[in-house]
Amino acid sequence: MKENRYSQKKLCEICGITEAAFSRYMNSDRLPRTDVLANIANTLHTTSDYLIGNDNNYGYDQLKILLASSRDDLSKNQKRDLISILMDEYDRPDGN
């Protein structure tokens, strides 16, 4: 939430859930429905697996989904930075 500059209240408003329900999710007192979890993940530009702690590393498919869902929220400079990261790896002399 901090990375996206959302307060708990704002995130709940965007996702259409109550702060009480969100608090229960955060405290592991209750699991959100699948659609609610997906909505929270999309709003925070991440995956539901990441939110529930099942995924510490993104694979190609997760990165593709994450980038595709976030592309309209990224500035041109942020997009250039991401491209640069990929191209730096591509241009390495080891051929990988």
Q: Which CATH number fits domain 8-51: 1.10.260.40, 1.10.10.60, 3.20.20.140, 1.10.3720.10?
A: 1.10.260.40
In 1-96, which ranges are continuous DSSP H helix? 8-15, 19-26, 34-43, 48-51, 60-70, 76-90
Instruction: Decide if pLDDT at 47 tops 60.
Output: yes
pLDDT the model gives residue 21 = 94
For residue 32, which amino acid is it? P
Euclidean distance between CA atoms 18 and 20, whole angstroms: 5
Q: What tokens were used for 95? A: 């051929």
Q: Return the minimum-mean-pLDDT range out of 1-15, 20-34, 35-49, 52-66.
A: 52-66
The residues spanned by each domain of the chain are 8-51, 60-90
pTM as predicted: 0.57
